[in-house]
Chain A
Amino acid sequence: MSISPKPQLSLTATMKALFKRDILLAFRARGDLLNPLMFFLMVTSLFPLAVTPDPVFLGKIAPGVIWVGALLATLLSLDLLFKSDYEDGSLERMLLMPQPTLFLILTKVFVHWLVSGLPLALIAPLLGLMLGLPDGGYLPLFISLLLGTPVLSLLGAIGAGLTVGLRKGGMLMPLLILPLYIPVLIFAASAVQSGSQGQPFVGQLAFLGAYLAFTLAICPLAASAAIRISVAR
């Protein structure tokens, strides 16, 4: 046998390579990434114009408005999570790597969160300022987005994986995923609400943390099974 043995690759090396690749791809398609962020900005900035410029009233609805905006913006960005990889065969290639698929999916979801969820969390305090969010609301807003947006990405990966092979899956994915998003929305908005009224908000954030831990354990596995089904047709 004169074929030289292939050097073994560790899982972490593959994950690192995938991470680098996806960051590079995200950077090359910056325009696509900006869309959800612009959507988030527009939705929240239209509220004062449409409802009332009264800062006290706006301050009351700010937690809900910001969180609904962030949730819908994430939903918009999910379409891109697996689409191009599915179309050019990269997803097949990932399924055929000698590494467990769920870790590759986890890496992809992590990059998705880095380029979509994290910017939302970073920009949200600014929008809070614009909507007159009371001082106590900023910390829970930021933390709830930091804990909540990865949950949105993780749950979204299941929906994106299931619908990636469908030509007209546009409306199906939100229908599948939205019910799972509701707990995040309720507890996160409630945390910000409590914070801005000067009440304790640790309980709600603890729930978000628990939900994050749960989805982190379940979603990559479910998403890779979903992708396997989509690729098998």
Chain B
Amino acid sequence: MAPWLEAKMLGCERDDRQLFDQLSFAVGEGDIVRIAGPNGAGKSTLLRILVGLSSSYSGDLYWQGQPMGRARYDFLDNLLYLGHSPGVKANLTAEENLAWNCQQASRTEIFEALESVGLRGYEDIQTSSLSAGQHRRVALARLYLHPPKVWILDEPFTAIDKAGVGRLEQTVINHAQQGGLVVLTTHHDLAVPVKTIDLGSSDFKPTEREGGIE
């Protein structure tokens, strides 16, 4: 069976700086993949390229063996992407946000998801009056609402408290154990062994940077 998400000779240059070059990997069912690298190494950029938000790259992307261009809608159907700004509307309540973000979810399911991220009792409050961490949790609640197979998460642990991080980590692990794929960037060390894609550790040798699965 073809791997779910495959990159061949991926390269990206930004502002005359080679972020990564000849990056090839294939990930699929049950994988937790961590994109590692220092600040500015291009971790978020790589995620944006993977989901198709950025098209300034060289190389090829495949979804289940098919070129991404052809399989795009099928890929999007299976994708949950949480970026730096995860699309939580400040003027909507937590419940309204989730109702829009996951339209097939029933009210009970939304309440359960909010309970899972510790926001039970906050569903009627506009997210503008929530704290940064709670704001983030509203976005993360999507992980509990009919989650699709592929999760691509950009710094999911940011602004989350210790207990929340533990729970979120467990959710990520459970998802992988149930056959899902999680690609994430984080500086937090996960409790289970994960695949790592290292985007290099130096800002001084832009030409020698080469990534690969360890």
Chain A hits for B85, CB < 8 A: 87-89, 92
**A42 touches B (CB below 8 Å):** no
Given contacts A89-B87, A89-B88, A96-B81, could you give 5 more A-B pairs where the C-beta distance is less than 8 Å?
Answer: A1-B178, A3-B180, A89-B85, A92-B81, A98-B76
**A167 touches B (CB below 8 Å):** no
Minimum Cβ distance to chain A for residue B158 (Å) = 14
Minimum Cβ distance to chain A for residue B77 (Å) = 4
Interface residues of A (CB under 8 A from B): 1-4, 6-7, 9, 13-14, 17-18, 21, 24-25, 28-29, 84, 87-93, 95-98, 231-233
Nearest A residue to B135 via CB reads: A88
Number of interface residues of B (CB under 8 A): 39
Stretch with Cβ within 8 A of A (4 or more), from B47-55, B58-66, B195-203: B47-55
Chain A hits for B79, CB < 8 A: 96
Decide: A232 near B54, CB < 8 A? Known: A3-B178, A9-B104, A25-B89: yes
Decide: A2 near B178, CB < 8 A? Known: A28-B91, A89-B83: yes
Give 1 or 0 for each of B93-104: 1 = CB within 8 Å of chain A CB: 000100111011
Can you report 14 residue pairs joining A to B where beta carbons are below 8 Å apart?
A7-B104, A9-B103, A17-B103, A18-B100, A24-B92, A24-B96, A29-B91, A84-B90, A88-B85, A89-B86, A93-B81, A232-B48, A232-B53, A232-B56
**B107 touches A (CB below 8 Å):** no
Minimum Cβ distance to chain A for residue B208 (Å) = 27
Chain B hits for A231, CB < 8 A: 53
A2 touches B92 (CB 8 A): no
A4 touches B81 (CB 8 A): no
> A21: which of B100, B146, B179, B180 is its contact (CB, 8 Å)?
B100
> A88: which of B73, B90, B99 is its contact (CB, 8 Å)?
B90
Minimum Cβ distance to chain A for residue B195 (Å) = 19
Chain A hits for B92, CB < 8 A: 21, 24-25, 28
Chain B hits for A28, CB < 8 A: 91-92, 126
Chain B hits for A92, CB < 8 A: 53, 81, 83, 85, 87
Nearest B residue to A94 via CB reads: B87
A172–B149 Cα distance when bound, in Å, is 42
A232 touches B91 (CB 8 A): no
Chain A hits for B56, CB < 8 A: 232
Chain B hits for A3, CB < 8 A: 147, 149, 175, 178-180
Minimum Cβ distance to chain B for residue A22 (Å) = 10
A92–B82 Cα distance when bound, in Å, is 10
> B76: which of A13, A91, A97, A233 is its contact (CB, 8 Å)?
A97
